[in-house]
Every structure is written in structure tokens, then in C-alpha cells.
Amino acid sequence: MIMIPEIIIANLVETVLKVIETDFNDHVEEKDTLLYYILGDNQYKKFNFFEQAKDIFLREYNHPRKIEVRMLFDAQRAALPTIHITMPQEANDSDGIGVDEGYDDNILSTDKTTFHKIYTRAFGVQYNIIITSDNSLEVLLIYHLLKAMLISIFDHMELSGIRNPKLSGQDLQMNSDIVPVNVFVRGVGINFMYEEGIPAFQEEQIIKSFNASYTINETIQGSNTL
């Protein structure tokens, strides 16, 4: 089965959002929550990051500004607090000779009479987790909280097939024909490597036995007696 990084990243982000909500509801004291451990008493003018995070991440599902995750960029959600998963680039990375045949085990048929060789390729890829909203401080808050939560699940990323993840970030300028000018955009970049094992097109027969036949030819040379 192939690995689809967009699905894995989207699931990871949705898990992070769920963990924030569940952890907050499981604690009696707000200062014992992950939300407070990460944001603390950060404040800009009247914008208290912890208090605003409670509003953003604990909204009911029917709230019109409930934060959501989208695979690919959804322009219709851009003005609302939304996390979009996009892929700017992908390229081969650290491939072995012979299409890495033998790196992964062959796929054996159910009746164990045929098999497919497995060819493996590695890819170096960058994904952007793009955060959009019509509120600039809301984007700033979501960006820093999401980045912190991703760091906390690096081990889980590795187990999910996202190898050696590295985070980055940047403000983004979107095409004004697609996104209104009053929308603020910032992205968390994830660079990583992943592998895909693909069955060869040709199905091959399993050799269960073989016979070896051989012939010994002897040349007898006579000797002369003096």
C-alpha cells in the first residue's frame, strides 16, 4: 500500500487539534493544560494568547468560525481560521541501484505460487501547513501553537513514515484573484523524507524444485611401453 503524505499530515494536524481540546477538558486547573504550558501569559496589547486560544480551539462544531483542516488549498474557507495542506515540491532522494529490489520483502500471492518483486524509491518532500484567517493575531496564535504541538509529536511522525522531519515557517502572499486582500496567511513548512515500496508489474512464478543434469566425459589416454 502506498503512502499518501497529505493524508498522514492532515490526520496529524486533526489529532493535534483534538488533543488540545481533550486535554483542556480533562483538567480542572487551566494552568495544568497543554494550552497553558505552551502559551503561558503571552500577551500583545489586549490580545491574551491563552484566552484567545481557548476561544479558537474549544469552539463547538457548529460554530461558524470553528477551525478546520483542508487537504489542498480551499479558497472558500480562507477568510475563516483554516489549516490547508499543500505540497510545493517533491523529488527523488537517496535511491539505491536496481530500483532497490530486495530492500523490502516480495509480495507473496495467497496460494503461495507467485510473487511480485518490490521496488522502492525514496522522496524528499516539502509540505506547507498554511494557516489563513481575516484576523492577523489569530493566524499568529494558530501558527505558533501548531508549530509547538508538531514538535511534541516528532516521534509519532517518524512512526507514521515521515522520516527526519524539519520545520520552517514563512508569511505567504496569495493571489488576490483567489484570496481576498484582507486575509492573512502564514505557513508551517515540513521537510522530510519518505519511502514507497511498489510491486513490480510482472507476476513471477515461485520455483518449488529443480533438477540438475550433468555428464562426465573421461578421456583415457594410452601409454607407450618402451
What pLDDT score was predicted for residue 130? Answer: 95
When pLDDT is cut at 50, 70 and 90, the band that residue 17 belongs to is very high
**Domains with residue ranges and CATH for the chain:** 5-203 (3.30.2000.10)
Q: 104 or 116: whose pLDDT is higher?
A: 116
d(CA 15, CA 13): 5
What pLDDT score was predicted for residue 95? Answer: 61
When pLDDT is cut at 50, 70 and 90, the band that residue 182 belongs to is confident
Q: Averaged over 12-19, what is the pLDDT?
A: 94
Q: 175 or 10: whose pLDDT is higher?
A: 10
Q: Mean pLDDT over all residues of the chain? A: 85
Query: How much helix, strand and coil, in percent to the nearest 5, is found in the chain?
Result: 30, 30, 40
d(CA 2, CA 7): 11
What pLDDT score was predicted for residue 118? Answer: 79
Helix (H) / strand (E) element for 11: namely helix 5-26
Closest to 127 in 3D by CA, of 168, 157, 94: 168
Q: Averaged over 39-63, what is the pLDDT?
A: 93
Which residue type sits at 19?
V
Which residue type sits at 70?
R
Closest to 162 in 3D by CA, of 198, 118, 129, 122: 122
Set of cell numbers at residue 102: 530486495
Percent of the chain, pLDDT > 70? Answer: 82
d(CA 49, CA 39): 6
